[in-house]
Amino acid sequence: MVKIKDIELGEFPLLLAPMEDVSDPPFRALCKKFGADLMFTEFISSEGLIRDAAKSVQKLDIFEYERPIGIQIFGSEIDSMRQSAEICESAKPDIIDINYGCPVKKVACKGAGAGILQDIPKMVEMTAEIVKSTKLPVTVKTRLGWDESSKYIVEVAERLQDVGIQAISIHGRTRSQMYKGDADWSLIAETKNNPRLYIPVFGNGDIDSPEKAVDYKNRYGVDGVMIGRASIGNPWFFREVKHYIRTGERLPEATLKERVEVAKEHLRFSVEWKGERLGIVEMRRHYANYFKGIENFKPVRAQLVTLESYDELQEVLDSIVESFGSMIYTS
């Protein structure tokens, strides 16, 4: 049984990665439905929380059925991060997670996210302060290092454990790689096999099939895997991985009818949570993934990303099975 402090996650938990503009409550609801064991919010700016910025505060919304759920924060100032952890605690998550992995320029070049990998002592000090500021278990998501010459993750994980983190998720790339090339899981395995490390180690990067999830489980010995891009438009992925672990067999792909029903559910929750206008607009980024691989779908997708009426969108979604149901779906 894998545990983060007292939180039981099962024998080989599947984690939903915190993804900006993706891992919101509507999407998380679907991932939970299809088997995610632990989920995280989109990453939240510590400065935004302290300033009470509406967008940051809204990201604190969590629901009972999501548990266990972690709120993820990022920032470059130790005091701001400590204060934001205290604010997050009032939202009653199960975990506070620190983002030391985001590689995007606007975050990393300000010393937040993966940017802090250039200053490991500050990373350790910040983590220690956050651990002291909350009664909740604190976890970390990070990368192998800033670049090829600074892949210190084995030592870093040990130092973070020593100041009190309860688990670590490691993306198998450096910041300089961004999302290019293949993720290197050998250093994730080395971290896991460090005899001084006793906290759970979750691997992240390039898990895009049930077969790969099981292969990496067996090959690298991680306690679980964190799934990101493979779940976008495909919340069934968690169910497929669990079935494959249990049986060694692949589940059939979700049918077009299932895809339509889940897209409608996603849209409905998006509108309920964000309001009609914003819910419709922010749902647009998901349609291409839900209906990827359908021939001659472009005109329908054009409607889905331009219509502004909830009822009209429902009608278009309902028409998809009738129009394309006989076509072979290829993911």
- Is 102 noted as a catalytic residue in this protein? yes
Structural contact between residues 4 and 95, judged by C-beta atoms closer than 8 angstroms: yes
Q: What are phi and psi of 139, to 5 degrees?
A: -125, 170
Tokens read off for 235? 């919340």
Tokens read off for 283? 């749902």
Distance CA 198, CA 167 (A): 9
Give how far Cα 36 sits from Cα of 91, 97, 172, 241, 273, Å. Answer: 21, 17, 21, 10, 21
Structural contact between residues 135 and 106, judged by C-beta atoms closer than 8 angstroms: no
Distance between first and last Cα of the chain: 33
For tokens 């993750």, the residue is: 153
The amino acid occupying position 64 is E
Rounding to the nearest 10 degrees, give the CA dihedral for residues 19, 21, 25, 27: -70
The rounded radius of gyration (Å) of the Cα atoms in the chain is 20
User: In whole angstroms, what separates CA 260 from the centre of its chain?
Assistant: 23
Q: Which of 31, 88, 102, 109 is catalytic?
A: 102
Q: CB 210: neighbour CB atoms within 10 A?
A: 22
Distance CA 310, CA 288 (A): 18
Residues acting as catalytic residues: 102
